[in-house]
Structure 1
Amino acid sequence: MSLSHNPNLLQPRTPILNWIADMGSDISEEIRSRLCGTLAASTLPAILGSLNSIFITLLAYARIENPVLLWIAFFDLAFGIARAAATNINWVRVIAADLVVISGIGWATMIAATMVVVGFSNDTPMLIVVVASGLGSCAGIIARNYAAPRLALIQVILIDTSFKIPFCLNHPEFTPLIVIQGMGFIGIAVWIMRQQRETTVRAIAGQIESRTQSLLDPLTGLLNRRGLEERTQSMRQTSTTKALLYLDLDGFKQVNDRFGHGVGDEILRQAARRLSICLPNASICRMGGDEFIVLADCHSRQEAAVIGARIIQTISLPSVTSAGQAYVGVSIGISLFDPKTVDLERAMVEADEALYRAKRAGRGCALLHDPSNAEASKVPA
């Protein structure tokens, strides 16, 4: 499990705790991270639950006067403080996930301990209050901790069995019925948590799919303008110089007019595949029509020349379409920029200016924008 959705929550360091908090291997890392958010977001309910159980324990002490209940209340408070610290104090970040799991199990154990102590007393009204509170806690656990089913199941079993054990010892004739009822309760709890998890996973997967599709060009599968902007935002933390290459297919309009939009779409899809194969580590965007943008790591003008030449050579190969072979070329304008200091719009304007000059220079070439000159610098192809 990786509780990276919250910056204060990391993967549990203790193997047994990591196993308890495991969310399964049938989900993607992003879904896992989103599910972790349900645990991270349960801090307030957990603290409120701890305050409630402390109050119930102190109330039981006021009626029964068993000093064990004071120790239970003390440890319950300690677990509540640990849970709050796990998500609110930066210096405990390294063991934050361990504290979440330990405090969750510890809180359930204190509820169970209170039930056992009250269960062996003769205070029936207090027992009813404690049992009602415990069942309410089980409902909260099922509703909040279903993302980590083992953790939730351990908590539910601790609380559920704690009042059944003293009852069965005091009334052994009801033991078979209590066992059957307990097994049924656990089975229903597992079913509810499984249903909640599946529903949540489907909802998250749908959101991810919808978001992914909103960032992609439906024809080519490349990034669209919005996807490129988001990708650029993620680059702002890097110090690597980028090359923004503005591509325009030469001769595409003639082919599209002659053979129709269907063949034109085939050529665009082939161009997208070729770019993806040619530059596997680059971010590639279809801006619309026959215009593409490529964002690639680039440290020098010479490296930009190599990238431009590679693209020109790749795109200029004949395209096999349903109407036969078709030929298109490509003109390229290039801007070298630092994502930390230059925004995408400015880099695109510079590359577009270089592209315009590449078109005027006879097409089929790559020009590099040179900020020291009014004219762009030609990159040998």
Structure 2
Amino acid sequence: MALKLKAMFAEAVHMNAVLKEQADQIKQSEIRFQQLAFTDALTNIPNRLYFHSCLKELLEQPHAYGALLFMDLNQFKRINDTHGHEAGDALLQHAALLLTQAAGEGTVCRLGGDEFVIILPAAGSQEIERTAAHILERFKEPLAYQGQLLQPRTSIGIARFPSDADRPEELLNLADQAMYRAKQRGSGIEWYRDPDREREGRT
């Protein structure tokens, strides 16, 4: 009887170990699935789905403030058409790396195509300006691709929260509008509402 109970106990311990291992595998699979769902396959940075989730959560926090930077690559279509899609993909990967290095505490996401955003939480106007200027400086670095130098250029639109907007879609739309104005000028930085002009208006 004692031997039978001992065998039953050993079997129960083994089954618990097997079940725990299976549960751990399921948990790891869920984590991996979530990572894949939130990661851009080409650039390995957060994607549009993660961006919307992250920005929504941030804007729901009390007293949240900061900025959203919206960027795309100038003349990306020309580079893609001239040098091929593989060159275009390499340029997107290069841009993602430059943005990640320049963003500091910001979160860099790829929305799709050649469009990128950076969420800068708890950032004042000077920090936002420094980050945007640093991005433009980093984008002076060309990409060596198959014996050629591909030169990325970007235009940056900036919208602040909550002063410009406090809802994700509206904030994204305003940053996009500012980016388009910068693109019309050739490149550079454009605020949806210039903080320097706002300060002048209050004096």
Q: What is the TM-score of this pair, normalised by structure 1?
A: 0.48
Alignment of 1:112-131 (within 5 A): none
Q: 1:251 aligned to 68, 75, 80, which one?
A: 75
Q: Which residue identity does 1:263 align to in structure 2?
A: A
Equivalent position SS for 2:109: strand
Answer whether contact 1:247 1:292 (CA < 8 A) is retained: yes
| 1:229 equivalent in structure 2 | 52
Structure with greater helix share of residues: 1
Distance change in 2, residues 1:201/1:280 (3 Å): farther
| CA apart distance, 1:281 | 2.2
Q: Which residue identity does 1:211 align to in structure 2?
A: Q
| 1:193 equivalent in structure 2 | 16
Q: 1:356 aligned to 131, 155, 180, which one?
A: 180
Aligned length: 194
Q: 2:96 aligned to 272, 276, 284, which one?
A: 272
Distance change in 2, residues 1:244/1:303 (3 Å): same
Equivalent position SS for 1:255: helix
| CA apart distance, 1:267 | 0.9
Matched, 1:369 2:156: no
Q: CA RMSD in A?
A: 2.1
- Give the distance between the partners of 2:101 and 2:146, measured in 1 at CA: 22
Answer whether contact 1:259 1:323 (CA < 8 A) is retained: no
Answer whether contact 2:68 2:118 (CA < 8 A) is retained: yes
| CA apart distance, 1:362 | 2.3
Unaligned runs of 5+ residues in structure 1 are 1-176, 376-381
Q: Which residue identity does 1:335 align to in structure 2?
A: A
Answer whether contact 2:66 2:124 (CA < 8 A) is retained: no
| CA apart distance, 1:233 | 2.9
Equivalent position SS for 2:57: helix
| CA apart distance, 1:264 | 0.8
Matched, 1:343 2:167: yes
Superposed CA offset, 1:10-33 (max 9, x none): xxxxxxxxxxxxxxxxxxxxxxxx
Identity %: 27
| CA apart distance, 1:278 | 1.8
Structure with greater strand share of residues: 2
Q: Which residue identity does 2:105 align to in structure 1?
A: N
Distance change in 2, residues 1:238/1:263 (3 Å): farther
Unaligned runs of 5+ residues in structure 2 are 198-203
Q: Give the structure with higher Rg (CA).
A: 1
Matched, 1:261 2:85: yes
Answer whether contact 1:316 1:330 (CA < 8 A) is retained: no
Equivalent position SS for 1:205: helix
- Give the distance between the partners of 2:194 and 2:186, measured in 1 at CA: 22
- Give the distance between the partners of 1:291 and 1:369, measured in 2 at CA: 17
| CA apart distance, 1:271 | 1.1
| 1:145 equivalent in structure 2 | none
| 1:184 equivalent in structure 2 | 7
- Give the distance between the partners of 1:202 and 1:338, measured in 2 at CA: 42
- Give the distance between the partners of 1:238 and 1:324, measured in 2 at CA: 49
Matched, 1:204 2:27: yes
| CA apart distance, 1:301 | 2.3
Answer whether contact 2:64 2:161 (CA < 8 A) is retained: no
| CA apart distance, 1:201 | 1.1
